[in-house]
Each structure stands twice: as C-alpha cells, then as structure tokens.
Amino acid sequence: MRGPIDDKFDRIDFARDLRGVVVVFNLDDVREVTSAGVNEWLRAIADAKAAYAAFLRCRPAVVSRFNDVPGFGGGGQIISFYLPYECPRCRTTFQTLHDMRRPHAWVGALAPPPANCPACHRPALFDGLPEMYLAYLAKAATPDPPALAEELIEEAEARERRIAAAAAKKAAQKAAGGQKKAEGAEGRTT
Ligand SMILES: [Zn+2]
C-alpha cells in the first residue's frame, strides 16, 4: 500500500480483492492514518474476509492505531513494526524495525530497546509514550503466518532490500558527484 490511509482510501476496491485469500500488507509507505481513514479502514477490513492477513513494516502512525482503535487489524497479525527515536544531541529522528516472529522481552515490559543515533552514534531517546506503541503488541500472540504468507513476506522484504540498495547507490553517486564538482571547483581556483 502506498501513501496515507485517509478519506481517499477506496474500501470497496480494497475489500473486493481480498475475500478468502492470504494477504500480506506491506505498510512501509503508510506514514499517516487520519480519523476519516480509520473509519474507512475499519469497514474495509470487516468486509474483506481474508483467510489470513498480516501487516508488515507498520510505521508508528499505524502501530499507534492498533493500540487506540479496537479491531484495527481485523484479526490480522503484525509481523514487523517500527519504533520512533530522536537524538537529544543533533535532533535526528529515525525509526528502528522489529520482527514480532522473534520474542522480545522488552515488548512485554513496555520498555523500548536502546538505539543509537545514525548520524552522531550517541544514545537516542524513545520519541513517544512506550505504551502507545507496545501495549497492543504486548498482548498480541506471536504471529504464525502460513507458508504462503511467509513466502509473500520474504518477497516483500526482498523488494525492500532492493529499494534500500538502489537508494544507497543513488546517495553514493550523488556524494561522488558532489565530490567531483568540489574538486573541479577547486581545480579552477588554483
Ligand atoms: Zn545524533
């Protein structure tokens, strides 16, 4: 799924395709869920009647909805989710990804794990109330996706790895290009 879940969410189309199927939602790109979006989503998920549903890479905006809105997952399972952090020193904000198929004692303890700032490598602070993100997960059963869902999860993760690799390559090329430009500029001044 791409973009926010808001009043433009098409629940009729959404539900029509899902009856009786195994479905894995990759929510990596869903960074906002509006109140209007919640209402549409709840009706869609109730109408969908999937055989099995799983939610992959839930952003904090989505995880917090699982916590506030009863039935938000419609019986589907959260496979993986992000937690939000902020660096107190350089103010970098970032999110860490966690897989619910492995047990994490800190989920039950409502105590997010320590994380270091990717920019300055110092310890970062959890950016929010832990129970807003972890209360639902602490009570949820360990996900047990059927084989077909596991395959879909692996496909989605492979796609995410390709996207991340392409982004890293682009960033490296941009940095190298910038470097060349800087060298060129230096060449002209000397
Ligand atoms: Zn920092």
Burial class for 174, CB neighbours closer than 10 Å (0-12, 13-18, 19+): exposed
144 phi and psi, to 5 degrees?
-130, 65
Reference 104, options 153, 138, 147, 154; nearest CA is 138
Gyration radius (Cα) of the chain, Å = 20
Distance between Cα 167 and ligand 1 center (Å): 21
* 127 Cα: distance to centroid of ligand 1 (angstroms): 13
Q: Which sequence spans correspond to the domains of the chain?
A: 11-189
Task: Report CA(180)–ligand 1 centroid distance (Å).
Answer: 28
Q: To 10 degrees, the CA torsion angle through 154, 160, 164, 166?
A: 100
- Distance from the CA of 176 to the center of ligand 1, in angstroms? 24
Cα–Cα dist 155/161, whole Å: 10
CA of 114 to the centre of ligand 1 (A): 14
- In the reported structure, the alpha carbon of residue 96 is separated from the centroid of ligand 1 by a whole-number distance in angstroms of 15
> Cα separation of 60 and 134, whole Å?
10
Going from the Cα of 60 to the center of ligand 1, the distance in angstroms, rounded, reads 20
Neighbours of ion ligand 1 (CB under 5 A): 87, 89-90, 92, 117, 119-120
- Rounded Cα gap, residues 149 and 52, in angstroms: 8
Reported as a single tens digit per residue, the pLDDT across 27-81 is 999 999 999 999 999 998 888 889 999 999 999 999 999 999 999 999 899 999 9
Give per-residue pLDDT as tens, 138-189.
999 999 999 999 999 999 999 999 999 999 999 999 888 876 655 554 444 4
